[in-house]
Each structure stands twice: as structure tokens, then as C-alpha cells.
Amino acid sequence: MEINRIWAMPNKWTFQIPPIAELLKEYVGDGTGWIDPFAGQSTMAQFRNDLDPSSPAPNHLTAEEWVNSLGGEYRGILFDPPYSGRQVKECYSHLNKKVHRDDTNAYFYGNIKRLISPKIMKGGYAISCGWNTNGFGRGNGFEILEILLVCHGSSHNDTIVVVEHKSVKEAGWKRWRVQNAGATT
């Protein structure tokens, strides 16, 4: 695993931050076969969704609804959701949508990852942005390749980008459960 740290000005549109844009270009290429459930202003992925109808994304569903509507397998996912419950609330309020408890807690992120993971082909990628290195994780069949920490200075939180590769092995938690089936403590 490679970890790099670089300074760059913050930007509401994560993929426009130069070191992040550079990293994405390396993995995503022309975006063919990639999905983005929280696209915002980005047109990088072939298949895009954003709740805000003013975004250039062709779909404007909740991430969960959109992911459930997808069929087939994809080369990779760009995962750049609102980073906190407060940001989720701001996004929903801006669109005059009601915020539910599950929209502002860990369930919000974990459920979307759980739904998307089987739709990423073996050998595909998950690139997650946020304020932590959780990514999609071994439980969903992913292994971390690299982490990019983008420092913004002052009191800004770093933007953390986690690049993961979907391994050809079975997801970690499933493998553990099978190996430990019937074990007693």
C-alpha cells in the first residue's frame, strides 16, 4: 500500500482538486464502465447520478434508488458522498427533501457500499473520498492499493482518497464466516 500526502486548495467539487484529478485520470481513464452515485458537477464516469436536478448527471435519484436500478457489472466506482451528517442535511435541505435518521449516520454510507460492491467486477476499483480511510473494505471484497491525503491547511479537514482493488478472492467477512462455521467458544 502506498500513502502520499500533498497540499492543495480545497474545492467543493472534490474531483477538481488538482492532485485528486490527476489520480483519477490514472485509474478512471475515459470513464467507460465507471459509476458515480454522487456525481455533483463531475462528468468523469460513464454512468452518473446526483440527487440535485441542476447537476449535469443524467439521473437524479437517491444513491440507494439509483444503485438498486443498475444492472450488470462495472469497471469501478467513484464514491464521493457528503462527508458528514451535516453535509447530508445541507444537501437535502437545499433540495427541500426530508432528512431521515438513516440518511445521517453510518448506515447511509455502509448500505450504499454494500449494494454497489457486487456490481463492481472482479479486478475493478473503488475510489472513495472523505475524511477517513474506511473505503469499501475487505468485507466487501476490496483491498487498499493507495491512499492520498490532500492537506488544505488552516482549519480545513484533509480530503482523503482511498483507492481499492476488488480482489478475486471471496469477501473477507464471508470467508471468515465459512471458516468458522460451527466453531464454539
Mean pLDDT of 70-89: 86
Residue with cell 443498475: 70
Q: What is the pLDDT of residues 151-175, one digit of tens each?
A: 999 989 999 999 999 997 655 545 4
Alpha carbon distances (Å) from 142 to 17, 65, 128, 139, 163? 25, 23, 12, 7, 9
- What amino acid is encoded at 109 in this protein? Y
Mean pLDDT of 105-122: 90
Pull the grid cell for residue 62. Answer: 437517491
Length of the chain, in residues? 185
Stronger pLDDT, 108 or 147, i.e. the higher one: 147
Instruction: Specify the 3-state DSSP secondary structure of 76.
Output: strand
Mean pLDDT of 94-117: 79
Q: Tell which residue, 60, 57, 56, 62, has the closest CA to residue 47.
A: 57
Buried b / exposed e over 152-182, threshold 16 CB at 10 Å, is eeeeeebbbbbbbbbeeeebbeeeeeeeeee
Q: Which of 7-11, 77-81, 166-170 has the lowest mean pLDDT?
A: 166-170
Structural domains in the chain?
A: 2-179 (3.40.50.150)
Q: What is the pLDDT of residues 21-76, one digit of tens each?
A: 999 999 999 999 999 999 999 999 999 999 999 999 999 999 999 999 999 999 99
The backbone region for 33, taken as left when phi is positive above 0, alpha when psi lies in -120 to 50, beta otherwise, is: left
C-alpha angle 46-152-82 in degrees, rounded to nearest 5: 45
Q: Look at residue 184 in the predicted model and tell me its pLDDT.
A: 47
Spell out the residues 6+ positions from residue 12 whose beta carbon is closer than 8 angstroms to its own. none
- What amino acid is encoded at 162 in this protein? V
First to last CA, the chain: 34
